[in-house]
Amino acid sequence: MAKILAVDDSASMRGMVAFTLRGAGHEVTEAENGQLALDAASAGGFDLVLADVNMPVMDGISMVRELRTRPAYKGVPILMLTTESHTDKKMEGKAAGATGWLVKPFDPEQLLATVKRVLG
Amino acid sequence: MSNAGLAQFQQVFVEESLEGLDTMESSLLALDEGGDGELVHTIFRAAHSIKGGAATFGFPEMASFTHEAESLLDEVRGGKRAIDKPIVELLLRSVDCLRGMFDRAKAGEPLNDAVSDGVRGELAAMMGRAAPAEAGPARRGSDQADGWIIRFQPHAGMLAGGNDPLRLIRELAAMGELAVEADLSRLPSLDKLDPSECHLGWTIELKAAVKREDIAAVFDWVEDECDLAIEPRPSAVVTPAAPAPANITEAATARGSREASPESSSVRVAIDKIDSMINLVGELVITQAMLDTFREEFDPAKLPLLQQGLTQLARHARELQESVMGIRMLPIASVFNRFPRLVRDLSQKLGKQVKLDLHGEQTELDKTVLEKIGDPMVHLVRNAIDHGLEMPDKRRAAGKHETGTLKLDAYHRGGNIVVEVSDDGAGLNREAIVGKAIERGLIRSGEGLSDEAVGELIFQPGFSTAAVTTDLSGRGVGMDVVRRNVSDLGGTVTIRSKPGQGSVFTITLPLTLAIIDGLTAAVGEERYIVPLISIIESVQLKPDSLKTVAGGGELFRFRGEYLPVLRLHELFGCVGAKRAIEDGLIIVVEGDGARVGLFVDGLVGQQQAVVKSLEANYRRVQGVSGATILADGSVALIADIGGLVRLHGQRKAA
């Protein structure tokens, strides 16, 4: 099973994501914002990163941009959890290096399906 | 929430959203006073989180409402719109609407109401359009064929973005039989090959009758990172499918099935508080292990060690008790934070200028106390603005600054928490109060009444001096209710006032409801705990200082006033108690705004009593607020001073 980093400033969203993924047998590390996620990412090789877009301290897009500069995170799937279904936010995330996105609201089944999809 | 385990996050969502709404409100108020642009981002983020969470946790109406507010904020954030008073006003009302929605969600009622629909319309109108009807996602008609040719040429950087072409091809393979042909034409020679780049392209034949959009969905994330062409297989017949009807019924069913969330109370605890407790428990275990060595063999020479161990045990137990209590303690800031808005709205309504001064927001109170202190405080603040602070012209005439100051303060004092609501207004109007009290038959004349006694009058039931009943303070709820609410929390409320200089309302509360500091009094064979907070002093009386009045009541003179004597042995039917007044002791206590003397045999000591509920274990007993276990294992009842005073009043009336 995979090592997954879940990044969201909202405790309920983060909790739901982590709970669902742990239930599926994944090892989940939680981070409250982009900066803390970068710190956590330095420590361990994650197989997948799920990140919210709007967060205090450091937003998800800046976090992806920074993460992609690290050799260890080249090619690691990073999904943006976004409520903005407008293409501009998705594309901004993509341009920063995100692999794809998962549009909120999503239910646990959708989350697991998407995670399964990226992890192959 | 389909999964029961996930319901806990719905509760977390509600809690964090209510906090988010508080943040939105305080930031909007700060913005209104010329705060910086970072506030807009903070407000936007809070709205955005609520929107995302609301949709996820089963509150689509809330998500849709917040979406409107968020869109407006987005325009402000993006510089498309300057923030002004009407916008702040509208957003503040939106915050109120959302709070209302959370209340209704808790009660299991429909989330939208006339007010929220109205505000929603205003938000949309502000952005120059009609409020959108809630609609399901539109379904497009899609091409269908019984086979497809997909030409897929990833850009070189696609791998670095985490998208693996192999995964995409596997997803296609899941739809039906594939014939894949790789295009190696762009593959560089080995010395020029960068393994982190993608150089291959594929032509994929999918032999399955699927919709074009299903194939496009596979490539959704990589549209901008590849060249993609999806064409029907040449032999295939293309039939345009009828547009699928919007799946509204399904959405509506999902919406209707939401249940009211069960109310569960929880406390968020700072991690360092928990760490310190774990640490203490560790110490406790070590001490216990040390003491355990005495179980095997006891050598009198080791006595000092045993004493030392017991001292340590006592210290750890005390510290652990304090830390456990600390878990229930939360900063009063959460209560204080509702006042900027209240003060702003009230002062605007009344045409007064008020500056709100908050102090001691970090002072911690028991969660239960915190939840219940809000209402009495709101009442005091309304009163202060309505009756205390004067209109600007009147203030100017009195040589004061036009803007009045309302100060809220919270601090520790001798094992209690003190919360003060003070204003620099006109102070109590002695004549008006005395006049009203005479009219109400509370007193016969104001002569000889101390300022303190006049202040006490406003706490009498049904007392109100407002010449015109305003819709602010005159709600039929008086200061007597404030006093009762505070007294229910084991606290007291008093007033100090100086004409022309203002008033100070002081609420004194116990640190916690679970433990009280009290004096242990003996009455016959029984022991009673008298809460320290209500004790004024203890006196010993001479037989001749007792006056008996008509009806058998006894009075004694204490600092110039006559106080009734309550003989606890009579009230509670204790056997073997002292009866002669000179043999026992009078404890002068104050509760419910009245002073009485409790007659007991004597004082045994002072102690912290852990309150055990009498109601939960037996039934409610008037004059007793609970019970506790004494060091010798016996039970002592805790005297409820307010209840005793009321009990005395009833006996007198009977």
pLDDT reported for residue B422: 94
Give whole-number Cα distances, B373 to B301, B385, B489, B599, in Å. Answer: 55, 19, 8, 32
Asked whether the beta carbons of B410 and B332 are under 8 A apart, the reply is yes
Question: Strand pairing of B526-531 and B515-523?
Answer: antiparallel
Residue A104 touches partner B, C-beta closer than 8 Å = yes
Give whole-number Cα distances, B561 to B557, B597, B598, in Å. Answer: 6, 12, 16
Higher pLDDT, B430 or B477: B430
Chain B positions touching A107 (Cβ under 8 A) are 2, 56
Cβ atoms within 10 A of the Cβ of B385, count? 25
**Residue B518 in this model has a pLDDT that exceeds 70:** yes
**Residue B3 in this model has a pLDDT that exceeds 60:** no
User: Residue A105: is the preceding peptide bond cis (ω within 30°)?
Assistant: yes
The answer for B286, left when phi > 0, alpha when psi is -120 to 50, beta otherwise, is alpha
Using CB atoms and an 8 Å cut-off, which of residues 16-35 of chain B contact chain A?
16
**Residue A76 in this model has a pLDDT that exceeds 80:** yes
- Find, among B574, B577, B586, B589, the residue nearest to B643 by Cα: B589
Mean pLDDT of the A39-56 span:
89
- Most B-contacting residue of A9, A12, A86 (CB-CB within 10 A), to test interface: A12
Separation CA B239–CA A118 (nearest Å): 33
Closest CA in chain B for residue A77: B162
Facing residue for A19 by CB, picked from B9, B56, B57? B9
Asked whether the beta carbons of B368 and B331 are under 8 A apart, the reply is no
According to DSSP, the residues that pair with B597 across neighbouring strands are B565, B588
Facing residue for A105 by CB, picked from B9, B56, B220? B56
Question: Strand pairing of B416-423 and B502-510?
Answer: antiparallel
Question: Quick check: B13 and A10 CB within 8 A?
Answer: yes
Phi then psi dihedrals of residue B387, to 5 deg: -100, -35
Indicate the pLDDT class of residue B133, thresholds 50, 70 and 90: very low
Separation CA B347–CA B329 (nearest Å): 32
Strand order in the sheet with B416-423: B354-358, B404-413, B416-423, B502-510, B492-498
Indicate the pLDDT class of residue B348, thresholds 50, 70 and 90: confident
Indicate the pLDDT class of residue B94, thresholds 50, 70 and 90: very high
Tell me what ipTM this predicted complex has: 0.84
Using CB atoms and an 8 Å cut-off, which of residues 42-81 of chain B contact chain A?
42, 44-45, 48-49, 51-53, 55-57, 63
**Residue B130 in this model has a pLDDT that exceeds 60:** no
Facing residue for B6 by CB, picked from A16, A94, A105? A16
Residue A55 touches partner B, C-beta closer than 8 Å = yes
Residue A10 touches partner B, C-beta closer than 8 Å = yes
CA B291 to chain centre: 43
Residue A9 touches partner B, C-beta closer than 8 Å = yes
Three-state DSSP at B458 gives coil
- H helix runs in B440-578, sequence order: 451-457, 479-488, 568-572
Residue B6 touches partner A, C-beta closer than 8 Å = yes
Give whole-number Cα distances, B573 to A118, B261, B585, in Å. Answer: 77, 48, 18
**Residue A1 in this model has a pLDDT that exceeds 60:** yes
**Residue A12 in this model has a pLDDT that exceeds 50:** yes
According to DSSP, the residues that pair with B356 across neighbouring strands are B406
Domain spanning B515-653, CATH architecture: Beta Barrel (2.40)
Question: Quick check: A98 and B16 CB within 8 A?
Answer: no
Indicate the pLDDT class of residue B252, thresholds 50, 70 and 90: very low
User: What 3 state SS string does B227-257 have?
Assistant: EEEEEECCCCCCCCCCCCCCCHHHHHHHHHC
Closest CA in chain A for residue B10: A12
Question: Quick check: B221 and A15 CB within 8 A?
Answer: no
The answer for B584, left when phi > 0, alpha when psi is -120 to 50, beta otherwise, is beta
The nearest CA of chain B is from the CA of A83 a distance in Å of 6
Tokens 């090892």 -> residue: A27
Asked whether the beta carbons of B16 and A11 are under 8 A apart, the reply is yes
Tally of residues, chain B: 654
Question: Quick check: B55 and A83 CB within 8 A?
Answer: yes
Mean pLDDT of the B89-112 span:
89
Within 13 A of B92's CA, how many CA atoms are on the CB side?
Answer: 21
Asked whether the beta carbons of B405 and B413 are under 8 A apart, the reply is no
Question: Quick check: A54 and B48 CB within 8 A?
Answer: yes
The nearest CA of chain A is from the CA of B338 a distance in Å of 22
Max distance between CA atoms of chain B, in angstroms, equals 120
Tally of residues, chain A: 120
The answer for B131, left when phi > 0, alpha when psi is -120 to 50, beta otherwise, is beta
Chain A positions touching B77 (Cβ under 8 A) are none
**Residue B470 in this model has a pLDDT that exceeds 60:** no
Number of DSSP helices (H) and strands (E) in chain A, helices first: 5, 5
Mean pLDDT of the B224-233 span:
85
Indicate the pLDDT class of residue B338, thresholds 50, 70 and 90: confident
Three-state DSSP at B74 gives helix
**Residue B142 in this model has a pLDDT that exceeds 70:** no
Asked whether the beta carbons of B408 and B354 are under 8 A apart, the reply is no
What mean pLDDT, rounded, does chain B reach?
82
- Name residue B484's amino acid: R
Max distance between CA atoms of chain A, in angstroms, equals 34
Looking up residue A11, the CATH number of its domain turns out to be 3.40.50.2300
Chain A positions touching B56 (Cβ under 8 A) are 12-13, 16, 104-107
Which domain does A102 fall in, by range?
Answer: 3-119
DSSP letter at B387 equals I
Separation CA B41–CA A33 (nearest Å): 15
Helix (H) or strand (E) holding B612: none
Helix (H) or strand (E) holding B437: helix B430-439
- Name residue A65's amino acid: R
**Residue B517 in this model has a pLDDT that exceeds 90:** no
pLDDT reported for residue A3: 93
Fold topology of B4-126 = Four Helix Bundle (Hemerythrin (Met), subunit A) (1.20.120)
**Residue B237 in this model has a pLDDT that exceeds 60:** no
Number of domains, chain A: 1
CA B246 to chain centre: 42
Separation CA B10–CA B408 (nearest Å): 34
Tokens 């909790």 -> residue: A15
b (16+ CB within 10 A) / e for B140-165: eebbbbbbbbbebbbeeebbbbbbbb
- Find, among B312, B238, B242, the residue nearest to B280 by Cα: B312
pLDDT reported for residue B79: 81
DSSP letter at B580 equals S
Higher pLDDT, B629 or B143: B629
pLDDT digits (tens, 9 = 90+) for A89-106: 778 888 888 998 888 888
**Least confident range of B321-330, B457-466, B638-647:** B457-466
Chain B positions touching A55 (Cβ under 8 A) are 45
A53-57, A60-64, B487-491 — which one is most confidently predicted on average?
Answer: A60-64
**Least confident range of A68-77, B10-19, B171-180, B471-480:** B471-480
Higher pLDDT, B506 or B366: B506
How large is the C-alpha radius of gyration of chain A? 13
pLDDT digits (tens, 9 = 90+) for B52-89: 888 888 888 898 899 889 888 888 888 888 888 888 88
Phi then psi dihedrals of residue B116, to 5 deg: -65, -35
Asked whether the beta carbons of B415 and B517 are under 8 A apart, the reply is yes
SS3 helix, strand, coil % of chain B, rounded to 5? 45, 20, 35
Residues in CB range of B168: below 8 A, 6 or more apart: B152, B218, B219, B222
CA B368 to chain centre: 10
Domain spanning B148-232, CATH architecture: 2-Layer Sandwich (3.30)
Separation CA B505–CA B421 (nearest Å): 5
Separation CA B69–CA B20 (nearest Å): 14
Q: Provide the angle, in degrees to the nearest 10, between the axes of the packed helices B38-56 and A11-23.
A: 40
pLDDT reported for residue B595: 87
Phi then psi dihedrals of residue B109, to 5 deg: -95, 165
SS3 helix, strand, coil % of chain A, rounded to 5? 50, 20, 30
Angle B47-B53-B57 from CA coordinates, rounded to 5°: 145
Torsion of CA A45, A47, A53, A56, to 10 degrees: -30
pLDDT reported for residue B597: 93
Higher pLDDT, B366 or B615: B366
**Least confident range of B123-132, B178-187, B349-358, B579-588:** B123-132
Higher pLDDT, A111 or B238: A111
- Name residue B311's amino acid: T
pLDDT digits (tens, 9 = 90+) for B261-313: 444 567 777 788 888 888 889 888 888 888 888 887 778 888 888 888 899 88
Separation CA B476–CA B474 (nearest Å): 6
Tokens 């955005």 -> residue: B48
pLDDT reported for residue B343: 92
**Least confident range of A56-65, B198-207, B317-326:** B317-326
Angle B417-B423-B428 from CA coordinates, rounded to 5°: 105
Question: Quick check: B42 and A23 CB within 8 A?
Answer: no
Question: Quick check: A15 and B48 CB within 8 A?
Answer: no
Indicate the pLDDT class of residue B235, thresholds 50, 70 and 90: low
Question: Quick check: B221 and A13 CB within 8 A?
Answer: no
pLDDT digits (tens, 9 = 90+) for B429-442: 888 888 888 887 77
Chain A positions touching B172 (Cβ under 8 A) are none
What is the assigned CATH class of domain B331-510? Answer: alpha beta
The nearest CA of chain A is from the CA of B157 a distance in Å of 10
Mean pLDDT of the B343-351 span:
88
Interface size between A and B, measured as CB pairs under 8 A: 101
Residue B13 touches partner A, C-beta closer than 8 Å = yes
CA B525 to chain centre: 44
B144-148, B553-557, B629-633 — which one is most confidently predicted on average?
Answer: B553-557
